[in-house]
């Protein structure tokens, strides 16, 4: 990209690439142009040196922000000659990654001017609504704050990939060991037995050395046994992953119709890792929330406005019946404004001074910028959605913010245009938790208007506000109980003389180099006192649909959610409560807000003291305990910490907490808390937090965000998820998976992630088993063929086994298999835990598969070998020839592995049936074709097994051998799995059993026999009369009046069946049933009540 720059050696603008921009260059920017470097704003096309920028690339916020030049430089305008003569010197901070802070001093024409963040335009911003502006380069290239926050792109691989690579190396070592064993055996055999065959082979004495023969045999067996090394495994894995990715793309339940946005798997290599997530790192704005604020209620001078009452005086929701306030009388009212208490408008019309002052404060105390669209409507550009909601509320209630300059604010008060002189702006930060403006009204009065957190503002009130303070505090508690975001509102009248003295001290503090921030903060504290309370506001921050349910479900799945946001602390905390990540039931919420490393370390120490009590020893601010592995730390935490805790830390404190000597304390405390909220963090800090957990906890992490400020975090995590929201596509382009709403994360992890992990693990277990069973038969055969490297199978069978006979069934299982359906996976988040614990495939499972394959290979070889030993066929001829033996073992192998995959398959589709049984049919078709006379006649050397298949497979004894081999291979597996499910069932086993019982009871009730059974019991217990002739389809017998013995027997059978159904019905009524089965559940509850009455009564008689 290029930009227009002017250097000190030239008085003309020239076009240069970004890479050639240097510190000190003067850059001209035009509307909608990206900023190429960190600039000091000198002048602009707007009055007073104002310009508007969009910072979505930096902090993810799409609202416009204002920057203004110093008055001494704004006079330069667009005069190129005067700009070329600019020779100011800037002394500023060193390059750093703090986006919201800049400190420097401009020395020019013998004067010094303080510089702050409002005078700086950072690289990555976009100039908006400003025709042009000029700026001087402060930082360029890697020194810019954007580059200081950038993270490195890393190649992502799953834990299963890393384990597979390790296992393949082990298998290769195992192959070498097998080759060495067989080579040694060949050398011994050649030395002891091979001499007897030299005469037949026409070898001279000493022509062949046994050691050399063993060496050649080693390499021959390496070639023959190479199928034990699963080279085709990697291809199959990629095919399965591709299928899983398409399932995500095609999932209609993850399609957002509001923006016609489907879910998108942007990578095919990480699907199974979605089933192993332990930590989710989430942005807030636009990710958890819709970034839409709504003004709901307010308290003014001790009275609540915003509650709607019916004719009886009861609170009610009448939003659909009543018109919003201001819509009918105010032509500039926002039609989306939802406030229905008309008592507030009545107070405004009556001229209540407190109400007017309250609304005047909302229209003046903010950082909102206004502009008019083509239709003449006011459009507000807000830095905070809270401010937008409050300014919009004031607008609808008659106090309309019109425009602002660096020196004035203009509002329209009930139709009258009023301009206030802006004397000072006391900005918001994490420590002050409030913002104030000092203005002079047209009458010459100087007033300070302030809004902020109630805990902070109440401490600065005048003592005369005690009664109003108590009443307003009660109102704030009520608002907070409804999940609303609250702010306290207050003002102060200032004396002209006092303000001039104070303002002179503020100018001196701004020009200072040393302790500048401390001096300014002290002056702010001095003037923001003796405030008069006006009331409070309550704003609703609307969460995205399904966020609460998603957070709850992920918590049940043992997934910890950390919120990393650039928003202020109060906003983050409120969202935490709204999402149920923070609750009033928590034992404690630790807030870390230290300004130095010592303070942060001390606060972390105190927090850990509260967690552990005094049963651990502390020394020099550090916890003294032995180093533990991550898994050991988890067990210690579970035994030591009881209750739920939360940790909240801001960006300034986090910068110190991430230092080497403190980060271990931070990590230990954070991992013991149920919820962690990091606020006011930079993009780089987000990535550092993710890296900290990845490195020291050895846990699988997922980062989700929607803005450019989340890119570093998304790249750092094992899995990066981008939300295509209001903040551009930067996060989506850097992500591994993308969708439109946070709630889809639940389905991505609990359904697609869990299924992918489950399928991949089952696929790997079967693949390794199949390879060992197939290959090791050659090893056993070597002991009976003189270690001659003779293959036991036909060469064509060896070629086609992995490619044709067994490739498709295992792919079908790896792509389509599932233990429970998607709805049950969502309803039971606990099913997700095996993936987090890596239980389904690990080194232990690999050795089990290896042992299973070795056992199968032993059965496949020795049962046919024993059966063929000195045995004659049905025609009296000897059948113990090599070719018949090979065909028998090959057929047994194909059938055994096919039966085994049928046992492993939990979810059958038509594709599974076709592939499994079709593979067996394909084997026999190819077998008879290759052993046919016609093919032998065409290729006699390639197909030497002529007629063998037809000869062998027509004999009953061969099929008996195949059957015995199959049963001996499969029965131990069946028995083991039956006992395991019966004695040690997993959670998924229990879920499937419950669903089976539900289906059984639904079938029983729907069959009609239950109604017959119930009527029978009702008739007998009610009147004692003989039952009329009735056919019961469940019992299958006729009930004949007059036959007492037969009737009693039938009743006994009915009672037994009813008692079994009763136990099943009780379980149904406790289950969470899919909505489409709710009707059956109601029937079961009614039936259960009847059975409890009529079934248990006869048993007591």
8 Å CB contact between 678 and 690 = no
Residue scoring higher pLDDT (305 or 1065): 305
Q: Is the pTM of this model over 0.75?
A: no
d(CA 937, CA 946): 9
Mean pLDDT of 496-512: 87
In tens, the pLDDT along 235-260 reads: 999 999 999 999 999 999 999 988 88
CB atoms within 10 A of CB 803: 10
Torsion of CA 548, 554, 558, 562, to 10 degrees: -70
d(CA 152, CA 1087): 63
CA distances 345 to 108, 300, 309, Å, are: 53, 13, 16
Q: What is the DSSP string of 192-208?
A: HTGGGGHHHHTPPTTSS
Mean pLDDT of 76-102: 88
8 Å CB contact between 36 and 121 = no
d(CA 290, CA 504): 43
Residue 1100 has pLDDT above 60, yes or no: no
Residue 352 has pLDDT above 80, yes or no: yes
In tens, the pLDDT along 202-238 reads: 555 555 678 888 899 999 999 999 999 988 899 999 9
H/E element holding 897?
A: helix 882-904
Q: What is the DSSP string of 380-403?
A: EE-SSHHHHHHHHHHHHTTEEEEE
Residue scoring higher pLDDT (653 or 1092): 653
- Confidence category of residue 337, pLDDT binned at 50, 70, 90: low
- Confidence category of residue 1060, pLDDT binned at 50, 70, 90: low
In tens, the pLDDT along 592-619 reads: 988 888 889 999 988 888 887 633 433 3
Q: What is the pLDDT of residue 330?
A: 59
Residue 621 has pLDDT above 50, yes or no: no
In tens, the pLDDT along 885-896 reads: 889 999 999 999
Lowest mean pLDDT among 376-385, 629-638, 772-781: 629-638
Backbone angles phi, psi at 62, to 5 degrees: -90, -10
Residue scoring higher pLDDT (1027 or 502): 502
Mean pLDDT of 530-543: 88
Residue 460 has pLDDT above 70, yes or no: yes
Residue 692 CB partners (closer than 8 Å, separation 6+):
658, 663, 666, 667
Q: What is the pLDDT of residue 1005?
A: 55
Residue 524 has pLDDT above 50, yes or no: yes
Residue 387 has pLDDT above 90, yes or no: no
CB atoms within 10 A of CB 629: 9
Helices 1044-1070 and 1009-1023, axial angle in degrees (round to 10): 120
User: Which tokens belong to 364?
Assistant: 């003046």
CB atoms within 10 A of CB 976: 11
- Confidence category of residue 406, pLDDT binned at 50, 70, 90: confident
Residue scoring higher pLDDT (125 or 1037): 125
Which single residue is written with the structure tokens 């049984």?
A: 917
Residue 1059 has pLDDT above 70, yes or no: no
d(CA 1046, CA 693): 73
- Confidence category of residue 356, pLDDT binned at 50, 70, 90: very high
Q: What is the pLDDT of residue 483?
A: 65
Query: Three-state secondary structure along 658-716?
Result: CCCCCHHHHHHHHHHCCEEEEECCCHHHHHHHHHHHHHHHCCCEEEEECCHHHHHHHHH
Residue 482 has pLDDT above 80, yes or no: no
Q: What is the DSSP string of 159-174?
A: HHHHHHHHHHHHHHHH
* Catalytic positions, written as ranges: 283
Lowest mean pLDDT among 150-154, 252-256, 352-356: 150-154
d(CA 787, CA 779): 9
Burial class of residue 471 in the structure, from the number of CB atoms within 10 Å of its CB (0-12 exposed, 13-18 middle, 19+ buried):
middle
Range among 78-82, 111-115, 849-853, 927-931 rated most confident? 849-853
Lowest mean pLDDT among 94-108, 379-393, 400-414, 680-694: 379-393
CA dihedral sign of residues 132, 136, 141, 146: negative
Mean pLDDT of the chain: 81
Residue 327 has pLDDT above 50, yes or no: no
Residue 396 has pLDDT above 80, yes or no: yes
């Amino acid at each position: 990209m290029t930009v227009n720059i002017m250097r000190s050696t030239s008085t003309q603008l020239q076009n240069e690439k970004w890479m050639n921009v240097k510190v000190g260059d003067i850059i001209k920017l035009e509307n909608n142009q990206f900023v190429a470097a960190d600039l000091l704003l000198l002048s602009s096309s707007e009055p007073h040196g104002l310009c508007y920028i969009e910072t979505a690339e930096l902090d993810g916020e799409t609202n416009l922000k204002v920057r203004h030049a110093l008055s001494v430089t704004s006079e330069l305008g667009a005069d190129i000659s005067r700009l070329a003569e600019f020779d100011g010197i800037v002394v500023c901070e060193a390059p750093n990654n703090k986006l919201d802070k800049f400190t420097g001093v401009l020395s020019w024409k013998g004067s010094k001017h303080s510089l702050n963040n409002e005078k700086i335009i950072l690289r990555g911003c976009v100039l908006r609504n400003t025709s042009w502006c000029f700026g001087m380069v402060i930082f360029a290239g890697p020194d810019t704050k954007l580059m200081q926050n950038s993270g490195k792109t890393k190649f992502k691989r799953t834990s299963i990939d890393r384990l597979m690579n390790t296992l393949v190396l082990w298998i290769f070592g195992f192959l070498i060991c097998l080759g060495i064993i067989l080579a040694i055996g060949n050398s011994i055999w050649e030395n002891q037995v091979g001499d007897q065959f030299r005469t037949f082979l026409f070898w001279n004495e000493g022509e062949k050395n046994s050691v050399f023969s063993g060496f050649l045999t080693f390499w021959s067996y390496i070639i023959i046994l190479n199928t034990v090394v699963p080279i085709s495994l990697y291809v199959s894995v990629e095919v399965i992953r591709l299928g899983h990715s398409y399932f995500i793309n095609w999932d209609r339940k993850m399609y957002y119709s509001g923006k016609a946005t489907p879910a998108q798997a942007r990578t095919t290599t990480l699907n199974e890792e979605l089933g192993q997530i332990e930590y989710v790192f989430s942005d807030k704005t636009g990710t958890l929330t819709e970034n839409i604020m709504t003004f709901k209620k307010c308290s003014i001078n001790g009275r609540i406005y915003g509650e709607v009452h019916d004719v009886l005086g009861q609170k009610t929701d009448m939003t659909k019946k009543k018109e919003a306030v201001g819509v009918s009388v105010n032509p500039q009212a926002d039609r989306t404004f939802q406030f229905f208490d008309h008592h507030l408008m009545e107070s405004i019309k009556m001229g209540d001074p407190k109400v007017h002052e309250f609304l005047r404060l909302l229209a003046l105390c903010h950082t909102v910028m206004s502009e008019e669209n083509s239709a003449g409507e006011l459009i507000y550009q807000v830095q905070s959605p809270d401010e937008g909601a409050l300014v919009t509320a004031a607008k609808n209630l008659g106090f309309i913010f019109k425009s602002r300059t660096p020196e004035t604010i203009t509002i329209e008060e009930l139709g009258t245009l009023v301009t206030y002189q802006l004397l000072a702006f006391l900005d918001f930060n994490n420590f002050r938790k409030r913002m104030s403006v000092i203005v002079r009204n047209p009458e010459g009065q100087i007033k300070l208007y302030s809004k902020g957190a109630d805990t902070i503002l109440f401490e600065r009130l005048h003592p005369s506000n005690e009664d109003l303070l108590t009443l307003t505090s009660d109102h704030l508690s009520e608002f907070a109980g409804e999940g609303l975001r609250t702010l306290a509102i207050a003002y102060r009248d200032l004396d002209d003389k006092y303000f001039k003295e104070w303002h002179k001290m503020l100018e001196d503090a701004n020009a200072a180099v040393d302790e500048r921030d401390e001096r300014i903060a002290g002056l702010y504290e001095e003037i923001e006192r003796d405030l008069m309370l006006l009331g409070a506001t309550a704003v609703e921050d609307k969460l995205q649909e399904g966020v609460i349910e998603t957070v709850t479900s992920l918590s049940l799945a043992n997934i910890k959610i950390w919120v990393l946001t650039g928003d202020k602390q109060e906003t983050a905390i409120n969202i935490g409560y709204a999402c149920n990540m923070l609750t009033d039931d928590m034992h404690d919420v630790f807030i870390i807000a230290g300004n130095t490393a010592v303070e942060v370390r001390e606060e972390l120490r105190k927090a850990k003291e509260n967690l552990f009590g005094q049963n651990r020893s502390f020394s020099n601010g550090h916890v003294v305990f032995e180093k533990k592995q991550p898994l050991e730390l988890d067990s210690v935490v579970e035994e030591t910490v009881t209750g739920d805790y939360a940790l909240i830390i801001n960006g300034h404190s986090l910068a110190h907490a991430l230092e080497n000597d403190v980060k271990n304390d931070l990590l230990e405390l954070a991992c013991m808390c149920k919820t962690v909220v990091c606020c006011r963090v930079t993009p780089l800090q987000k990535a550092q937090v993710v890296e900290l957990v990845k490195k020291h906890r050895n846990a699988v992490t997922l980062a989700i965000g929607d803005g450019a400020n989340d890119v570093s975090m998304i790249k750092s995590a094992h899995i990066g998820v981008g939300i295509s929201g209001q903040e551009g596509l930067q996060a989506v382009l850097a992500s591994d998976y993308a969708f439109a709403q946070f709630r889809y994360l639940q389905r991505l992890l609990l359904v697609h992630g869990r299924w992918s992990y489950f399928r991949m693990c089952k696929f790997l277990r079967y693949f390794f088993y199949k390879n060992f069973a197939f290959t090791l038969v050659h090893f056993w055969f070597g002991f009976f063929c003189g270690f001659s490297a003779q293959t036991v199978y036909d060469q064509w069978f060896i070629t086609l086994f992995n490619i044709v006979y067994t490739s498709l069934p295992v792919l079908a299982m790896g792509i389509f298999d599932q233990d429970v359906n998607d709805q049950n996976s969502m309803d039971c988040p606990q099913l997700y835990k095996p993936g987090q614990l890596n239980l389904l495939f690990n080194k232990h499972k690999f050795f089990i598969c290896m042992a299973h394959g070795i056992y199968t290979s032993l059965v496949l070889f020795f049962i046919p070998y024993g059966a063929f030993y000195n045995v004659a066929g049905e025609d009296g001829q000897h059948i113990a020839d090599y070719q018949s033996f090979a065909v028998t073992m090959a057929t047994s192998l194909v059938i055994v592995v096919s039966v085994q995959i049928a046992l492993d398959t939990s979810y059958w589709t038509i594709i599974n049936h076709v592939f499994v049984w079709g593979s067996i049919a394909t084997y026999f078709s190819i077998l008879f074709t290759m052993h046919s006379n016609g093919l032998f006649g065409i290729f006699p050397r390639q197909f030497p097994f002529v007629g063998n298949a037809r000869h062998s497979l027509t004999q009953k004894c061969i099929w008996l051998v195949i059957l015995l081999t199959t049963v001996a291979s499969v029965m131990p597996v069946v028995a083991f799995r039956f006992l395991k499910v019966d004695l040690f069932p997993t959670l998924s086993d229990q879920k499937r059993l419950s669903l089976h019982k539900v289906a059984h009871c639904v079938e029983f009730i729907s069959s009609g026999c239950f109604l017959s059974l119930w009527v029978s019991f009702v008739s007998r217990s009610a009147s004692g009369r003989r039952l009329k002739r009735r056919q019961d389809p469940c019992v299958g017998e006729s009930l004949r009046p007059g036959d007492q013995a037969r009737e009693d027997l039938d009743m006994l059978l009915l009672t037994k069946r009813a008692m079994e159904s009763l136990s099943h019905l009780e379980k149904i009524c406790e289950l969470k049933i899919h909505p489409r089965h709710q009707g059956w559940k109601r029937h079961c509850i009614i039936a259960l009540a009847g059975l409890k009455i009529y079934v248990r009564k006869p048993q007591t008689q």
